[in-house]
Every structure is written in C-alpha cells, then in structure tokens.
Amino acid sequence: MDHRRRRVVVGTATAAAAATLGLPQSGARAEHKEEADTGVDIHIELHAVQEHLALRPGAPTRVWRYRGKVLRGDASTLEASDATYLGPIIRVRRGQRVRIDLINELPEPTIVHWHGLHVPDTMDGHPRHAIAPGQRYVYQFTVLNRAGSYWFHPHPHGRTGAQVYFGLAGLFLVSDDEEAALGLPSGRYDIPLVVQDRSFDGDNQFVYLGSSLLDSSPTDNLDQPPMMGGAMMGGGMMGRGMMRDGMGSMMGRMMGVLGDDILVNGRPSASLSVERRPYRLRVLNGSNTRTYKLAWHDGSPLIVIGTDGGLLAAPVRRDYVMLAPAERLDLWVDFARWAAGSQLSLQSLAFNGGMNMGGMMMGRAALPDGAPFRVLALRVEDGSQGAQEIAPPARLSEVPSPNPSVAVNFDRPKIFELTMGMMAWGINGQSFEMLDARPYETVRLGTHELWEFRNDATSGMIGMAMPHSMHVHGVQFRVIDRSVSSRFAGYRNTVDAGFVDDGWKDTVLVMPGERVRILVHFADYPGLFLYHCHMLEHEDGGMMRNYRVMV
C-alpha cells in the first residue's frame, strides 16, 4: 500500500464550531492530531486520494478512491479491500450518531454526498460545500434511515462524473432491528455487487471524455485547475472540451459516458463462486450513464426483496429487473436451484435504450446503452448436494401503501419537464445554478407533494430520445404511477416488466416519452437540496436543480 502524504488541517476552536455546522475547516496546513470524537457512536476519517491499482495484466491503473479509518466505534464499521478502488463499505445501525471527516487529498475540489440518506442540508454534500485540496469537511448526523443499501460518492459542481468514473464511490449499509429479526443471509452470504462500466486506454488507464488521470500530487498544484487534459470545471457541453476532445467526447459529454468493459466491485471480467444455499445480493448501479436489464442466463426469475430505501413489504419475482444509474436492488438467490458445478451468469439483456451510442463516435467498439452482455460469471461449488431451494420470508417489512391524497398538491402535481436547450440539459428549461431555487421548487417543511417527471420534451427531438434516472436528495419517495404516450411505447415496452416500484425509492428510471409521478415527504430538515438526473454527464451538463424546504 502506498504511503500518502499527510496534509490536513489543524483542528481549532473555530474549526470545531465550524464542524458542528458542517462548514469546511480551513486554516494552517499542519499535522492533524487524530482524536476520536467522544460525542458520537462512530467517528470515521475518509481520505479522498490518488492511488495505483492492478486491475488488468500490465500497467497498474491510476484511480481516485476513498481510504477510511475508524477513530471511534467498532472496527468492523469499515470494510476495505485492496483489490478494488471502491469503498470502504461503511456499515452502521439505524439510530447511531455518526461523524465522518472528509479529507481532500485530490488535486481539485470535492465533497461527499450520502446518497439516499435523510440528513440536514449541510450534511448532504451539496456542491456549494465542496472543499479545496488539503481541506477537511466534518459531517455529523444521526442515521434515521431504515435498513438498506445506501451509498456515497463525490458531488462537486461539474466534476461528479469524472470523480466517480476515476473511482470515488462506496456503499453505506444500514441495518436495523426489523431487518435483523428476519435472519436474512449475512456475512459472506450477503454480497454487494457494484456494477460499473469503464473504458481503458492501451496503457490500462481509465479514459473519461478523451482524458485519463495524470500522476499528480495535491501539493503540486493547490491553486491549479484539475490535472486532466480535456476536463473542465463546471460542466457545459459547448465549452473548451468540445474543441479539444473532438466529436466522440462531445457526444459523451452530452449523451453520457459509456464504457466497453463491465466491472463488478471494481474488477473487470468478474466472477463469483457460490454455495448451494441462499444469498443476499445487493446490487448497486454505480455507472455514470449505463442502465442494466438484469436477468439470469437461463430465464430463472429474479427474486427482489429490496430497493433503494430498503426491504419491500414482500418479495417480488421478475423475469428481469431494470437498474438505472444510482438505483439499488436487493436480491434473494438460493443457488440450490442449480446443480453443483453449474456455470451461471447474471446478464444484461437487450432493450431499446434510445440514442446513446456511447463511444461509437470515437470509432471504438463501445457497447451502446441497451446492448446485451454478461455482467457476472458465477460457479456453483461442488458439495452440499441435495439441498432444497428455499424461498425468502413471505413478509419482509412494514411498508405502507402510498396515499397520494395526503399531498398538498394532490390535484395539481408539480411538473418537472426534462429538457434540452442550447445544447445544455435542464429541468423545466433551467440548468443548474448553485443557489437558485424557483418558486415551483420551493416546498413547505412537513408537507407531502406529488411531483411528475416528464421525459417527453426532448424525446420528441430527433436523436434525443433517452432515458433519465431521476434522483431527489435527502428523501425516500414512493412511485405513484407511470404513463407513456403510444408514440414512445416502443422504448418502454422493452423494459416495463422490469420496474420494481413497490418500495421506498430515491431514484427512478424515466424512459423516453414517459411520465412518472412520485409522492415525496419533506420532513425534518429545512434548507437547500438537489434533485437531478443521475446520469452523471446529464447532471454535470445542467440536468440538476435545487429545491428549497421552507419552514
């Protein structure tokens, strides 16, 4: 393992005050004393660093990643692996009071967002809170979410796509008593599967919009822009990047970046050896733009026990399930279904993904969105003959059915049209502005609202029919209904048997021409939060806005 430069800031009285407000601590750069915060159950330090990792035969790959350390609490709170750039996996229990110090050792600003967690706005990792290289940001919150598979990733303005692509992301797994009582498969039978796509250059380096990561150290260029060829601070598709990177990456910047290698838990050509017994597979789509249509190689049904916001009321069976960027699925699989020695594969099936051809414009054989491929190879181990396939518990959790009539705007849902204007993505024609929230983007603390995402404006434009993966920060919502005009039915027909809309969600796939209504409760925390498309180049390119929760 490499030895990273320790360059963090001194904790001072002022810094401590700033910490409780979630403000970045700045000050003299000096050795920081690692002192556990005794006012919390768990205190973690999370360093965003550059490292090298052997991912393929030949040269190691330069990555950006998080390195964690537990300063207070159970050491098993963090699970790290040197085989991947992902993680560490953070495991907490509902109700725990957590402090996490982010230390930025990258050559550019960053901030961490806790995707799916219900936390105050200063703890949510909004781009307005991004910290410069060498700075520390202190998060402190109580875990109020129910048990589920949440995750964390960077969120600096215009650079989320690049930073995630170069490796920054990890799972944040919450457990609670309700889940524990079910006795679901645990330990080595509870396996996270983070699915991503990447493109490598001939030197094994990740290529993002025509650029790869250069060797850099934060000390070299504290006041310099990021050390990447075609990269820009702050989005925009018509900027320098287009001139510099050419047509291929202009398309990628606009439509979204697709890689031709599928990685699971950060490994290309991933495989897994399993026993003939039940497993819990927690699948996260950590890809920048790619959507997956997951299915077993032999058509066996997928048994879904949970989604973004935790367990469903009861398991559902699907021939395939859709997984858009940032969505999660909890699967129950009893491999006793297959004979010992069987080779299985989890696949992504073909669907009509619209116009995103990925890197095709660059003349490489990239996989377009909707192309079929294998995600994961599995082998059923020998032994344990004769076991019976076991079904998951029939009742999983208390999930009330949503009641849209509680919405203050029950008869007039707020419309959020997904738009493209002047070559910039937007929502209702507006691109992202750091602190701006319009009147229709303002809600009252404690109320419920119906929101409707409409993907019919751009879908009607030639060449612009694309799915979007709509995410709302700070909340878990319910999907009320979906509709599609017959003109666009040809897209949705290829995916709609794979929606799992029954449980708590924070991200929802909206197919070309589709309208999706959600019910959102704005509880507990006033302030400024984001909502956006989680296809990260769309997000960085303007399809992101703020909403304000007013007291």
Nearer to Cu ion, 295 or 543 (CB): 543
The total number of residues shown for the chain amounts to 551
The minimum distance between CB 324 and ligand C2O, in angstroms, equals 12
Cα 70–chain centre separation: 23
- Give which of 220, 224, 226 is closest to 5, Cα–Cα: 220
Q: Which does 93 bind (CB under 5 to 8 A by kind): Cu ion, ligand C2O, none?
A: none
- In angstroms, the CA 318 to CA 313 distance is 16
Number of residues that bind ligand C2O (CB under 6 A): 10
Nearer to ligand C2O, 146 or 155 (CB): 155
The minimum distance between CB 99 and Cu ion, in angstroms, equals 20
Kindly report the number of other CB atoms within 10 A of residue 347's CB atom.
18
Figure out which of the listed residues 62, 67, 113, 276 binds ligand C2O, where binding follows CB under 6 A.
Answer: 113
The minimum distance between CB 502 and ligand C2O, in angstroms, equals 21
Site for ligand C2O in 421-450 (CB under 6 A): none
What is the helix (H) or strand (E) element at residue 95, kind and residue range? Answer: none
Does 157 bind ligand C2O (CB under 6 A)? Our answer is: no
- In angstroms, the CA 285 to CA 216 distance is 29
Nearer to ligand C2O, 257 or 530 (CB): 530
The minimum distance between CB 348 and Cu ion, in angstroms, equals 19
Number of residues that bind Cu ion (CB under 5 A): 6
Figure out which of the listed residues 115, 159, 282, 290 binds ligand C2O, where binding follows CB under 6 A.
Answer: 115
Nearer to Cu ion, 43 or 115 (CB): 115
First to last CA, the chain: 49
The minimum distance between CB 534 and ligand C2O, in angstroms, equals 6
Task: Quickly list H helices, 341-463.
Answer: none
Encoded one letter per residue, x for contact with Cu ion by CB under 5 A and - for no contact, window 525-544 reads --------x-x--x------
Q: Which does 533 bind (CB under 5 to 8 A by kind): ligand C2O, Cu ion, none?
A: Cu ion
- Collect all residues with Cβ–Cβ distance below 8 Å to 32 and sequence separation of at least 6: 6, 8, 9, 10, 11, 136
HSE, side-chain direction, 13 A CA sphere, residue 191: 18
Task: Quickly list H helices, 477-542.
Answer: 489-492, 536-540
β-strand pairing of 414-421 with 448-454: parallel
Q: Which does 548 bind (CB under 5 to 8 A by kind): Cu ion, ligand C2O, none?
A: none
- In angstroms, the CA 325 to CA 257 distance is 12
Cross-strand partners of 8: 30
Nearer to Cu ion, 200 or 453 (CB): 453
Site for Cu ion in 426-485 (CB under 5 A): 468, 473
Cross-strand partners of 373: 348
Choices 331-339, 454-462, 508-516, 526-534; region in contact with ligand C2O by CB under 6 A: 526-534
Site for Cu ion in 83-142 (CB under 5 A): 115
Q: Which does 47 bind (CB under 5 to 8 A by kind): Cu ion, ligand C2O, none?
A: none
Are the C-beta atoms of residues 192 and 89 closer than 8 Å to each other? yes
Are the C-beta atoms of residues 149 and 171 closer than 8 Å to each other? yes
Site for Cu ion in 299-318 (CB under 5 A): none
Q: Is 359 left (phi over 0), alpha (psi -120 to 50) or beta?
A: alpha
Encoded one letter per residue, x for contact with ligand C2O by CB under 6 A and - for no contact, window 293-332 reads ---------------------------------x------
- Give which of 262, 264, 438, 466 is closest to 357, Cα–Cα: 466
The minimum distance between CB 532 and ligand C2O, in angstroms, equals 6
SS3 63: strand
Encoded one letter per residue, x for contact with ligand C2O by CB under 6 A and - for no contact, window 468-487 reads ---x-x--------------
Angstrom distances, CA of residue 394 to CA of 176, 285, 390, 398, 408: 19, 26, 11, 12, 34
Q: Which does 155 bind (CB under 5 to 8 A by kind): Cu ion, ligand C2O, none?
A: ligand C2O
Nearer to ligand C2O, 43 or 155 (CB): 155
C-alpha angle 305-310-314 in degrees, rounded to nearest 5: 35
Choices 225-233, 243-251, 354-362, 530-538; region in contact with ligand C2O by CB under 6 A: 530-538
Nearer to Cu ion, 275 or 524 (CB): 524
HSE, side-chain direction, 13 A CA sphere, residue 386: 0
Residue 405 has phi, psi (to 5 degrees) of: -70, -10
Are the C-beta atoms of residues 274 and 186 closer than 8 Å to each other? no
Site for ligand C2O in 325-364 (CB under 6 A): 326
Binding site for ligand C2O (CB under 6 A): 113, 115, 153, 155, 326, 471, 473, 530, 532, 534
